[in-house]
Structure 1
Amino acid sequence: MGDRAEVRIDGPRHGNPFVDVDLSATFTRGATVIRAGGFYDGDGRYVVRFLPTEAGEWDIEISSTEGSLDGLRGRVSVARARDGRHGVVGVADRFHFAHADGTRFTPVGTTLYAWTHQPEALQQETLATLAAAPFTKVRMGIFPKSYLYNEEDPELYPFESADGGGWDVSRFSPGFFAVLERRIRDLDALGIQADLILFHPYDRWGFADLGPEADDRYLRYVVRRLAAFPNVWWSMANEFDLMLEKTEEDWERLAAIVVAEDPAGHLLSIHNCLRFYDYARDWITHVSLQRIDIYKTAENTDAWRDEWGKPVVVDEVAYEGDLDQGWGNISGQELTRRFWEGTVRGGYLTHGETYLSDDDVIFWSKGGTLRGSSPPRIAFLRSIIAASPTGAIDPLPGEWDAPWGGVAGEYAIVYYGFNRPSFRTLVLPEGEFEVDVIDTWNMTVTPVPGRHRGRVLLELPGREFMAARLRRAGT
């Protein structure tokens, strides 16, 4: 597997090269052919990037509407991917995820909608926080955000200013995208996927309603610039159904552009507010959703798996915090409970933190430092998932009042949630098992002495957030 590579070519800078010049490249190594679109990077520089399937020498041929670029040929030497890099993440085993080399990937997300639009010092503080946190995926917007506690204007925007005010949506700002790319690389160095939100409704600059022509041009530019980064996911929108100016036909057209312009085939989904998109659509690789029931959230995860037959990522399950909004004031205990509930039911969840701050630096949007109690508990849950023989959890037949999840006949988690039993009788699968009592809040694992067959009486402390774990003996 090769490392990300790019070709830079000097070319014309007169007129508006962002729209006047189109170029692409064909990269060939033996029988392998990769075609990728290029983009204008300002100052007469044209760039084509690609994500090679292997290291070594690749032949290049440029195609362009500009005669001085069309037909150029060359060769690029691609280095082997660095140690610890496993390639693009894709769907594996229908409901889960793995890197291109087969390494299991567990998306444990957090939310940082506008962190790359903050001052550099705050961005660096956020990176330091992420380096010590359990998260493997970050939901983040490309466009800036205008919303509660998000009233500042960023230093850079994706488009250049137009004469007379507003934006020249035919001219992109290379400086803006250079900052975004640095942050994507920083996340990659931390082993974190960048789940990039391409559109969102929280806008006062006009970016949510550019019009079809500008939308299409923006998407082509973004995907051509960023598809060669191995740690990118695409989210067509955050809360697509609040963007009333876009129809379902618009979303289908826009998604087709992303698919066509992304030779690496990154994961692609769309996020909702009040109603679900049709996640059965072929272009949607996984379900990315927000609850539509205020009270019942992660409890629906297994039903959503059954309905759409794809991995389920509950990207908005409410946030740990103390805002006045119902989506931003659940406790760390409740967020942890929802993580366990959704995990045992075979899904993946995303964290967010919304504690009030005098300077309005709230982690869910601007980043900074985490204050909540759920992140270490989420890290503990990651260790429980990783201990599964497959590195994943699937729903298992269980009891009416406690979900089971794991690997059939080998590994099982029984989660009691907000119930407080003082004992339970577990009927074990056939064979011999080791049994643990897990306190998901205090992050302890207490083995039940011995090996067990048939039934086991499980003594429990009579408090919330307990679980049991069964592991086939000798494995």
Structure 2
Amino acid sequence: MTVERWGLHELRLTGPGTGNPYTEVRLRAEFRHRNRVVPVDGFYDGEGRHVVRFSPDRVGTWFWVTRSNVPELDGRRGSFECVPPGPGNHGPVRVSGAHGFAHADGTRHLPLGTTCYHWTHYADEEHEERTLRSLAGSPFTKVRMCLLPTRDMAPPMLPFAGDTPGRLDKTRFNPAFFAHFERRLRDLLALGIQADVILFHPYDRGHWGVDDMTPEQDRFLLRYTLARLAAFRHVWWSLANEYDFNRAKTVEDWDRLGRYVQRKDPYQRLRSIHNGTRMYVYERIYDFTRPWITHQSIQHWDARLTADWVAACPKPVVIDEIGYEGVVDRRWGNITGRALLRQFWHAAAAGGFVGHGECYPDPSRDGSAWISRGGSLRGESVPRIAFLRRLLEEGPADIPGARRRGEYWLEYFGERAHAFREVELPPGGAYRIELIDTWDMTVTELAGVHRGRARVALGGRQDMAVRIRRTR
């Protein structure tokens, strides 16, 4: 059997299906390549199926052996051949410096994400396929999506066994739910989109009983989820959405759970946690210097603080929630497309990234919005985010570093309507200067090569930027 590097190899074993295999059966496998051994937890998949998933990161022969407290699952052995990755397989995304991200093969990654919290939870095939078509035609490279339901939902399947509020069996899981969730993960992988899986949230408020579980139940859910999903190379872990709105857990609790994910994930996928905010009033940004956190996942309304956040913690900044384009009656869900785009540009100029979301009610789905269930993208910001993505792909991976070296930078003026701007250029260099209309999506190069100081006419227009590149 052959598996491509960073692909997924699956062991499917037959074993006990009676009693409670979720709690009574312990299964793991040790995968060995030369002198390297990677232990991986297995999971029960229902109907007597016990599964171990593994993602190899080295080309060559891998040998495996199972370890279990059940004799029929213990000591099983085999091997497979890991071959070079196929087209489009660049490996998992990792942090690259204080500002950026890159795939394991060095390919740059721009986390221009969007939010569709529960697009997989309604078993609505047509709507989910429409969501995927929308994503395929969008500039987005990451989707934030929840594992657990909220209070207001009545989904046909839940992660735990049972369907009665407050009476879910938290000692058993629902393999059908996870199989559907995984199918949609595979769809995102085929589109080249990262899946930022939100593990916990505060929106249940005791209804289903999933936001105030015991520490043992929390770890039970995490262990099973990681065993099933961690081998997918495009998965990221968001420990919680708006962690500070959950009154059942302290910061110390979140840290313990974060360290648990770090310890149990064989692949060390990207990990962060997301704060809440009273929009335009206050925020409780997490202490991202904690060692288990790989990058900053921030909710805030002002991307101009990006440089300050990186200065306080030298990890990449992703403002996953900055406000959503839309028309709902909440402050976080009725900003204009132009206002949202400005935040993308403020962050980009400082070497950070912003996440998108839309709150335009969909009359065909009970007025639900893109951020809740996906569907169709309607906002004015989407094509302009695509324009920004193209420009970022043309530039360096570390924009602040390139500016310090006098090689490349962006000046963004947002809502300011300057007649002109004087630009100070580093001494000794020659530069090309381009005028960018970020809303009309045009790039106009100023004539000539510029040195010293240059006057750039902006015509009193808003949403203008200047791109400056050293020629020699």
* Band of TM-score, shorter chain: over 0.9
Which residue identity does 2:49 align to in structure 1?
R
Instruction: State the alpha-carbon separation in 2 of the partners of residues 90 and 16 from structure 1.
Output: 37
> C-alpha separation between the residues in 2 aligned to 1:216 and 1:164?
21
Give the CA deviation at 1:145.
Answer: 2.8
Q: Distance in 1 between matches of 2:269 and 2:164?
A: 37
Deviation at 1:199, TM superposition (A): 0.2
The 5-angstrom pairing of residues 289-438 of structure 1 reads 289-291=298-300, 297-358=302-363, 359-388=366-395, 390-394=396-400, 406=403, 408-430=405-427, 431-438=429-436
The one-letter amino acid paired with 1:13 is: G
Checking the alignment, whether the CA contact within 8 Å between 1:233 and 1:266 is kept in structure 2 is yes
Residue 414 of structure 1 aligns to which amino acid in structure 2? E
Shift of 1:470: 0.8
Q: Which amino acid aligns with 1:353?
A: E
Map 1:2-401 to 2 at 5 A: 2-118=6-122, 119-146=124-151, 151-161=152-162, 166-203=167-204, 204-274=207-277, 275-291=284-300, 297-358=302-363, 359-388=366-395, 390-394=396-400
SS in 2 for 1:450: coil
**Structure 1 residues 11-45: Cα deviation after superposition (integer angstroms, max 9, x where no partner):** 11121000001111111121232111111111111
1:366 and 1:88 map into 2 onto residues whose CA distance is: 26
Paired AA for residue 225 in structure 2: V
Residue identity in the other structure for 2:26: D
Contact 1:159 1:169 (8 Å CA) reproduced: yes
Which secondary structure state, in structure 2, belongs to the residue aligned with residue 123 of structure 1? helix
Post-superposition offset of 1:164: 11
Tell me the equivalent position of 1:402.
none
Q: Gapped runs of 5+ residues in structure 1? A: 397-405
Query: What letter is aligned with 1:129?
Result: S
Q: Give the residue type in structure 2 aligned to 1:384.
A: L
Q: State the alpha-carbon separation in 2 of the partners of residues 205 and 192 from structure 1.
A: 30
Q: Residues of 2 paired with 1:325 and 1:2: CA distance?
A: 42
Note the alpha carbon deviations across 1:138-159, whole angstroms, 9 max, x for none.
011011233xxxx441111101
Find the aligned partners of 1:99 and 1:407 in 2 and give their Cα distance.
25
Output the amino acid matched with 2:211. A
Counterpart mapping for 1:433-448 below 5 A = 433-448=431-446
Q: Which runs of 5+ in 2 are unaligned?
A: 278-283
Counterpart of 2:131, as a letter, is: T
Whole-angstrom CA distance in 1 between matches of 2:84 and 2:386: 31
Contact 1:140–1:197 (8 Å) recurs in 2: yes
Q: CA deviation at 1:82?
A: 2.1
* C-alpha distance in 2 between matches for 1:407 and 1:127: 40
Is contact 1:91–1:311 with CA below 8 Å preserved after alignment? yes
- Rounded to whole Å, the distance in 2 between the matches of 1:77 and 1:144 is 39
CA contact (8 A) 1:345 1:395 kept: no
**Structure 1 residue 376: deviation in Å?**
0.7
2:164 and 2:320 mapped to 1: Cα distance?
40
CA RMSD for the aligned pairs?
Answer: 1.7
Structure 1 residue 79, shift from structure 2 partner: 4.3
Q: CA deviation at 1:213?
A: 1.5
| Mapped contact 1:131–1:190 kept (Cα < 8 A) | yes
Contact 2:97 2:315 in 1 (8 A): no
Alignment-mate amino acid for residue 185 of structure 2: I
Following the alignment from structure 1 to structure 2, what is the Cα–Cα distance between the partners of residues 212 and 471?
Answer: 53
Partners of 2:60 and 2:81 within 8 A in 1: yes
CA shift for structure 1 position 78: 3.4
Shift of 1:165: 7.7
